[in-house]
Amino acid sequence: MDVVADRTVLAIDLGGTQIRAALITPDQVVHARRAVPTADEEGVTAVVGRICELAAAVRDEARREGLPEPTAIGISAPGPLDPWRGVVVAPPNLAGWHDVPLARTVGDALELPTFLDRDTNVAVRAEWLFGAARGAGTAIYITVSTGIGGGFIIDGHPVLGPDGIAGEVGHIVADLDGPRCGCGRTGHIEAIASGTALAREASLLVDREPAGRLASLVTGDEEVDAELLARAADDGDASAADILAHAWTALGAVCASLVNILNPDVIVIGGSIAEHRPALFDAVRHQIDRLAFDVPASRVRVAPAELKDDVSLIGLPPIVAERWSDPAFGVRTNMQGAQSL
C-alpha cells in the first residue's frame, strides 16, 4: 500500500488533557499549531465547541499566512470509536462521551469533509510512513502513557477489524487475577503498566512504607504519580524499582505474545512514559527473547517512537487520502457543492 498524502488537511488531535490542531500541507510540514486544554469535566458540548473553535482558529491563522486552504479535516481521538460513521463510542478517558458524532459536528461547523480515526491507528500510520517503522511490512505501535494503546499494520495493510477495535493492545489480559482496568474489566495490561496503574501502585507504596524514599518525596499537594515513582526508583527506592520492573516485565510478556501472533518486523513504543524510561525497552527485548519463538524474536526490532507529540497529527493526511474516495468512510455534509466549484 502506498498512499500519498496529496491534499492540505486540517488535523485535530483530541487527547485526554489537550486538544491540538494544525494545518498540514502535502509536503508533510505542520503549520499553525495550536493547543487548548481538553477540560472534559465541562462536558461533551463544551469540548466539541472548543474543538470547532480551535480548528477555525488554525484555518484563520493559515489564511493570514497565505497557506493553502484545507480540503478536509482529519480527527484523531481516543477509542473505541467508529471510523466509518465518525462517532466516538465510549473512551474510558473522556468522561461522559457516549456515541458522540464528532466528525459530523466538526465537519458541519467548518463545512469540510471530515474523517475520524483512533489516535493509535493514526500514530501507527505516522510511524510506519514517516518514523521508526518506515519500510516495515508488519509493524506494531504501542503507546505507554496515562493509558496503553496500540495499532497494527499487517503485511502493508492498516488493520481496523469489523468494528474498528483491532489493535487495542492495552486491553490484552496479562494477569488473570490482575487489577481492575479503566475499561471495567480485570487483568488488562493497561491496569498493570500504564501511568494510571503506576500511580495507583505508588499511592499504595506510600501507605505501606511511610518511611520510604517515595514517601519522603511527597511534599504538600504533590501528586503521587508515575513520574514521582520513577524518581524514587532512580533515587534508590528498591520497592519503587520493583513496581516498575514488574510493569515492564508484564509489558514485555504482552509484546512477546504479539511477536508470536503477528510476526512483526518492528514494535515501536512511544508515549510519555516510554520516552523517559529506557529500562522499559530493555525489559521488553528481554521478555521477547525469553518468551517468543526464536525465529520471529530474532527478526523483530524494538524501537522508540520517532515522531513524539506530532504523531497523532501527521498520520492523518494519509488516512484522509486513503479514505477520500471510499464512500464507506467519513462525513461529507454541506460541502459537496463547494468541492466542485
Q: Whose Cβ is closer to Zn ion: residue 48's or residue 199's?
A: 199
Tell me whether residue 8 or residue 194 sits nearer to Zn ion (CB atom). Answer: 194
Per-residue binding string, Zn ion, 5-44, x by CB under 5 A, is ----------------------------------------
User: How far is it, in rounded angstroms, from Cα 95 to Cα 315?
Assistant: 26
When CB distances to Zn ion are compared, the closest residue is 181
The nearer residue to Zn ion, 28 or 93, going by C-beta atoms, is 93
- Tell me the closest approach of the beta carbon of residue 164 to Zn ion, in angstroms: 17
Query: Do residues 265 and 138 make contact, with C-beta atoms less than 8 angstroms apart?
Result: yes
* Binding of Zn ion by 173 (CB under 5 A): no
Q: For residues 64 and 55, is the Cβ–Cβ distance under 8 A?
A: no
Site membership for Zn ion, residue 171 (CB under 5 A): yes
Catalytic residue among 13, 82, 117, 119: 119
183 binds Zn ion (CB under 5 A): yes
Q: How many residues does the chain have?
A: 341
Shortest distance in whole angstroms from residue 67 CB to Zn ion? 41
Query: Quick one: which of 68, 78, 134, 63 has its CA closest to 318?
Result: 134
CB of 264 vs Zn ion, minimal distance in Å: 22
119 is catalytic: yes
- 77 vs 136, beta carbon nearer Zn ion: 77
**Closer to Zn ion at the Cβ: 80 or 101?**
80
Q: Cβ 106 to Zn ion, closest distance in Å?
A: 28
As measured in angstroms, the least distance from the Cβ of 255 to Zn ion is: 17
Applying CB under 5 A, does 188 fall inside the site for Zn ion?
Answer: yes
Q: 156-167 burial, b for 16+ CB within 10 Å, e for fewer?
A: eebebeeebebb
CA-derived radius of gyration, the chain? 21
Q: What span, in angstroms and rounded, lies between the C-alpha atoms of 251 and 137?
A: 23
Of the residues 14, 51, 153, 181, which one makes contact with Zn ion according to CB under 5 A: 181
Q: Which stretch binds Zn ion (CB under 5 A): 36-44, 180-188, 241-249, 314-322?
A: 180-188
Q: How far is the CB of 254 from Zn ion (least distance, A)?
A: 12
Burial class (CB in 10 A: 0-12, 13-18, 19+), 7: middle
Calpha distance 309→227 (Å, rounded): 18
Q: Which is nearer to Zn ion, 197 or 320 (CB)?
A: 197
User: Can you give the binding site for Zn ion, defined by CB under 5 A?
Assistant: 171, 181, 183, 188
Active site residues: 119
